[in-house]
């Protein structure tokens, strides 16, 4: 068996195109331009790349992009004051504080200072609670992108056995909630799961989000299963730096029915869903129908 490759890059391009079309209609019909504010504290190289990419994608979708770059030694009070100002700014529909933050800043305190209606990352405790109870919320971008690709591939997910390897607040837990909401039978596995290989082998849908390079080999995958690889890991191989996922792609692709590659799988969907969440927030703020799909 050779797995179907789920092309996240192409899927994300479609999502961004639909977002841009909806933004154009918002401008033409209502004079509304959604705005996304991204806050970067310090000079983490990877974070700077992400922020630039997010800003570029925001502008390409026809939205307003507001970037706030603060020094690494910025005080908690200064950062919270900025968030308060953004919460009150009607031109800003979405607020994203780039993680990780410098160690002297309390990330939970900072994230929970964001207006939940503008929390386009879906990390605020209110949005976490709403998602967990099946109510309307802001949904974390990476799990949302995974769900969209799964729905596109399978149609209905009802009754499928899903295993999520990884229990982070950013991916693992919200991914499990979304799959449960689509009527999957869901297991969250992690480093202390007994016989992890056997747990993975029973999954119709296997989501790997552990941050360990190529941890899951092909013989952990049920024949015909759909494998969603959230991991993005930089490793040295043959004297070169290479990006790999949390699954061993070559061996898993021989067994799986469908698989996301790394790069070009889940990654592009994260930014596409960030734009979609910002658009949704703008529509909700103005009492307009939310975009679908």
**What's the CA gap between 250 and 246, in Å, rounded?**
12
**What's the CA gap between 164 and 288, in Å, rounded?**
35
Q: Does 54 qualify as catalytic in the annotation?
A: yes
Q: Does 98 qualify as catalytic in the annotation?
A: yes
**What's the CA gap between 283 and 138, in Å, rounded?**
13
**What's the CA gap between 123 and 146, in Å, rounded?**
17
Q: Is 192 exposed, middle or buried (0-12, 13-18, 19+ CB in 10 A)?
A: exposed
Collapsing DSSP to helix, strand or coil, 31 comes out as: coil
> Which of 227-244 are b and which e, b meaning 16 or more Cβ less than 10 Å from the residue's Cβ?
bbbbbbbeeeeeeeeeeb
* Catalytic entry in 115, 119, 121, 204: 121
* Catalytic entry in 98, 118, 173, 177: 98
**What's the CA gap between 41 and 76, in Å, rounded?**
11
The backbone torsions φ and ψ at residue 69, rounded to the nearest 5 degrees and listed phi first, read -105, 120
Which residues are CB-contacts of 133 (< 8 A; sequence separation ≥ 6)?
none
Rg, the chain, Cα only: 19
Q: Does 135 qualify as catalytic in the annotation?
A: no
Which residues are CB-contacts of 83 (< 8 A; sequence separation ≥ 6)?
39, 95, 97, 110, 113, 114
Catalytic residue list: 54, 98, 121
């Amino acid at each position: 068996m050779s797995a179907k490759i789920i092309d996240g890059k192409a899927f994300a391009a479609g999502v961004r195109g639909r977002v841009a079309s909806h933004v154009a209609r918002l401008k033409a019909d209502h004079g509304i331009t959604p705005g996304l504010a991204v806050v970067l504290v310090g000079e983490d190289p990877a974070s700077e790349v992400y922020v630039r990419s997010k800003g570029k994608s925001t502008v390409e979708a026809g939205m307003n992009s507001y970037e706030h770059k603060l020094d690494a030694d910025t005080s908690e009070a200064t950062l919270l004051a900025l968030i308060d100002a953004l919460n009150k700014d009607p031109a800003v529909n979405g607020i994203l504080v780039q993680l990780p933050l410098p160690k002297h800043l309390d990330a939970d305190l900072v994230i929970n200072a964001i207006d939940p209606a503008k929390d386009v990352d879906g990390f605020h405790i209110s949005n976490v609670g709403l998602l967990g109870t099946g109510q309307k919320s802001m949904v974390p971008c990476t799990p949302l992108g995974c769900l969209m690709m799964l729905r596109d591939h399978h149609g209905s997910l009802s009754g499928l056995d899903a295993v999520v390897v990884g229990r982070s607040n950013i991916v693992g837990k919200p991914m499990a909630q979304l799959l449960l909401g689509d009527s999957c039978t869901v297991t969250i596995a992690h480093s202390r799961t007994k016989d992890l290989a056997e747990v993975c082998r029973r999954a119709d849908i296997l989501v790997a989000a552990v941050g360990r390079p190529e941890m899951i080999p092909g013989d952990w995958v049920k024949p015909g299963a759909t494998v969603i690889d959230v991991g993005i890991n930089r490793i040295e191989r043959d004297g070169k730096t290479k990006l790999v996922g949390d699954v061993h792609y070559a061996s898993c692709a021989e067994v799986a029915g469908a698989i996301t590659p790394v790069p070009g799988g889940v990654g592009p969907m994260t930014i596409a869903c960030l734009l979609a969440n910002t658009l949704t927030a703008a529509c909700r703020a103005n009492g307009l129908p939310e975009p679908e799909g």
